[in-house]
């Protein structure tokens, strides 16, 4: 029998799951259009571009990292409630989800603070503005952009647990496992780019699937 006290949280988790996909889509479209920079751009050219498009860039970072992290926490909480009868699995899912959310939010905050400093130094013609830019990019990528192992572990945990319980449809569990493995493989440079693509697009479909299911709980 369903616990009526948990139902609002589970439904909210469904909206959160679908919301994560929408955030990804908006972020990808913005990066490919309004915020597109050629790969050959120098650090100086990149700083100048960011300085000229501060509202768009910082809005994009806020959405894709800070808002994303907060919405991910909502989904994680809802999934913990669903697994509450298995305290060990609930703790694992909650712990991995909160760590991932924290890293993503921290990555966005580091980017915003670092780039603001780089822009100010660039405007003052300081010689080390490019160094600040490069350090910021490195920290931002290391914590929340170039390595998706924590998100991969979180996705794997949920998908494997769901497979055992028949909580989600089989194709959703299989897709989640594939996306989770791809996320873990991003830690290896040789697989980083293709694994990131599989992880991102796999998760977008997976989130919609589990979101629709959770809205029915």
Question: Higher model confidence: residue 146 or residue 43?
Answer: 43
pLDDT band of 196, cuts 50, 70, 90: very high
| Rounded mean pLDDT, 76-83 | 90
pLDDT, the chain, mean: 91
Contact between residue 181 and residue 152 where contact means Cβ atoms under 8 Å apart: yes
Q: How close are the terminal C-alpha atoms of the chain, in Å?
A: 11
The phi, psi pair for 146, rounded to 5°, reads -95, -5
| Rounded mean pLDDT, 82-96 | 89
* Cα–Cα distance measured from residue 124 to residue 179, given in angstroms and rounded to the nearest whole number: 45
Contact between residue 14 and residue 211 where contact means Cβ atoms under 8 Å apart: yes
pLDDT band of 216, cuts 50, 70, 90: confident
Confidence at residue 4, expressed as pLDDT on a 0 to 100 scale: 46
pLDDT band of 8, cuts 50, 70, 90: low
* Cα–Cα distance measured from residue 5 to residue 142, given in angstroms and rounded to the nearest whole number: 39
Lowest mean pLDDT among 7-16, 88-97, 98-107: 7-16
| Rounded mean pLDDT, 120-139 | 90
* Cα–Cα distance measured from residue 98 to residue 154, given in angstroms and rounded to the nearest whole number: 10
| Rounded mean pLDDT, 61-85 | 93
Confidence at residue 86, expressed as pLDDT on a 0 to 100 scale: 83
What does DSSP assign to residue 61? H
Confidence at residue 217, expressed as pLDDT on a 0 to 100 scale: 75
CA 146 to chain centre: 11
pTM of this structure: 0.90
Confidence at residue 6, expressed as pLDDT on a 0 to 100 scale: 46
Confidence at residue 121, expressed as pLDDT on a 0 to 100 scale: 92
Confidence at residue 9, expressed as pLDDT on a 0 to 100 scale: 58
**In this structure, what token pair is assigned to residue 159?**
């998908």
* Cα–Cα distance measured from residue 155 to residue 131, given in angstroms and rounded to the nearest whole number: 35
- Reference 131, options 140, 141, 118, 150; nearest CA is 118
């Amino acid at each position: 029998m369903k616990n009526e006290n948990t139902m609002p949280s589970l439904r909210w988790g469904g909206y959160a799951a679908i919301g994560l996909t929408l955030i990804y889509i908006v972020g990808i479209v913005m990066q490919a259009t309004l915020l597109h920079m050629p790969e050959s751009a120098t650090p100086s050219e990149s700083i100048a571009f960011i300085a000229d498009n501060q509202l768009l860039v910082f809005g994009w970072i806020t959405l894709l990292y800070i808002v994303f992290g907060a919405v991910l926490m909502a989904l994680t909480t809802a999934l913990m409630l669903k697994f509450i009868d298995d305290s060990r699995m609930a703790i694992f899912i909650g712990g991995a989800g909160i760590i991932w959310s924290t890293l993503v939010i921290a990555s966005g905050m580091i980017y915003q603070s670092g780039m603001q400093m780089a822009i100010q130094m660039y405007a003052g013609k300081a010689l080390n503005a490019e160094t600040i830019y490069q350090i910021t990019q490195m920290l931002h990528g290391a914590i929340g952009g170039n390595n998706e192992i924590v998100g991969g572990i979180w996705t794997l945990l949920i998908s494997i647990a769901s497979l055992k319980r028949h909580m989600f449809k089989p194709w959703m569990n299989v897709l989640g496992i594939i996306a989770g493995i791809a996320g873990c493989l991003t830690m290896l440079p040789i697989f980083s780019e293709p694994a990131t693509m599989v992880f991102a697009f796999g998760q977008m479909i997976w989130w919609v699937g589990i979101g629709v299911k959770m809205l029915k709980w």
